[in-house]
Amino acid sequence: MTTPQVLMAQPVVESIKKNLILRCQKLLQKGIKPTMSVVLVGNNPASLAYIKYKKKMCEEVGGVFHLHQLPDTISQEDFLSEIKKLNEDPIINGIIIQLPVSEKLKSLNVYELIKPSKDIDGFHPDNTKKLYFGSIEANLLLPCTPKGIISLLNFYQIPIQQQNILVIGRSLIVGKPLSMLLSNLNATVTLAHSHTKNLNELTKQADIVISAIGKPGYLGSTYFSDNQASTVIDVGISYVENKIMGDVDFENVKSKVTAITPVPGGVGPMTVVSLVENLIIATEIQNKEKL
Ligand code: GUN
């Protein structure tokens, strides 16, 4: 039995916010207001809750937040014309399309619709290809959850280089970009998924286990050995009887590992602060000749 370090997002968020507030003030002094537009189709309650949090963080840093809410009956043609207007609007610096979108829009490749320079989700192929090519420049528009996980590990001085890191889940939003980012940072990465054999052996061998599968409590105590010198990062957010639960059975795993993120209060806030960080980066790049 050990007492693990619980890797809370809050001190990390505070430290990143301090830096973003200064950078935002510098932009405001030049008459530039970093402005984010979030496109929401319909009124999914989980999406509305995330958006509220994004608005709060954006405004706390000094940015301007616009919610662009569209009916879930909107046609593909009208939706594309709304996105085009935002892409061309000079006062908007960053745009995200909140996922999931409505059934009618599902056949669109939403990842490719936002102008790459305003793509603060970091999902556009022009942005993700930089990860594929191995870039580790500081001003990349990286997908927010992977970026937030790196910031969290760095803040708590958990090494990445030369570590064996197991990423579970190969989604476009988390697993795939995260595995590339970690490999660019010289980690040895294993990308596991629903067809992986013997997952409970891989979890016991990894220095860092990062789970992004969205199955509440899936990684129970049998996935970890006693006194395992590992860090566990839980990206999962599931709602079970109105309670938020991660992929890891926190209560039964925490005594076995060295460090672990809580849910809520771990990766979630890191994703949101990374989005605001991307807004500031995008605004700085768009205005580089004025700064
Ligand atoms: N829905 C769930 N996660 C995300 C995210 O990171 N970005 C967007 N746009 N929508 C999401």
| Burial zone of 48 (CB within 10 Å; 0-12 exposed, 13-18 middle, 19+ buried) | middle
- Residue to probe by mutation, ligand 1, list 58, 111, 121, 147, most atoms within 8 Å of CB: 121
| Pocket probe mutation, ligand 1, options 44, 57, 98, max atoms within 8 Å of Cβ | 98
Global model pTM greater than 0.85: yes
Pocket-forming residues, ligand 1, beta carbon under 6 Å: 96-99, 121, 144, 173
Beta strands across the sheet bearing 188-192 = 5-6, 259-260, 231-234, 208-211, 164-168, 188-192
The model's confidence at residue 76, banded by pLDDT at 50, 70 and 90, is very high
CA distance 51 to 71: 16
| CA of 47 relative to ligand 1 center, distance in Å | 8
CA 216 to chain centre: 19
- Residue 280 CA to residue 21 CA, distance in Å, equals 9
CA-nearest residue, atom 2 of ligand 1 = 99
Q: Which atom of ligand 1 is nearest to the CA of 143?
A: 6
Output the CA 228–ligand 1 centroid distance in Å: 32
Sorted by sequence, the CB contacts under 8 Å of residue 59 that are 6+ apart come out as 65
pLDDT digits (tens, 9 = 90+) for 28-69: 999 999 999 999 999 999 999 999 999 999 999 999 999 999
Q: How far is CA 119 from CA 18, 24, 135, 140, 276, in A?
A: 23, 18, 17, 11, 12
Distance CA 5, CA 252 (A): 15
Using only C-alpha atoms, the chain has a radius of gyration, in whole angstroms, of 19
Residues belonging to the chain:
291
pLDDT grade, residue 1 (50/70/90)?
low
Specify the residue for token string 């030049």. Answer: 30
The rounded Å distance from CA 223 to ligand 1 centre is: 28
